Amino acid sequence: MAYYQLEPWGEYQSDRRAAVITSTMANIHRGKRNPYKLEDFMPKYDRQAMTWQEQKELLIKSFGLH
């Protein structure tokens, strides 16, 4: 426990490292918009799983698929 307090590891830390990199890149290219926060790029595990119909609808909206 003492070592974990000094150097945390695990999936949460991995997600946090990825969010730091992603938010930095997004803020470099954001223009005059409000800066992105680290939390904007952290996974949200408390959401309900989407059905395949909801996933399909999201893909169609996101990528203009038909």
* 1-39 tens-digit pLDDT: 888 788 777 888 889 999 999 999 999 998 888 999 999
What's the CA angle centered on 39, arms 33 and 40, to 5 degrees?
A: 45
pLDDT on residue 44: 82
Q: Is the pLDDT of residue 51 over 80?
A: yes
Can you tell me the distance from the alpha carbon of 57 to that of 11, in angstroms, rounded to the nearest whole number?
A: 29
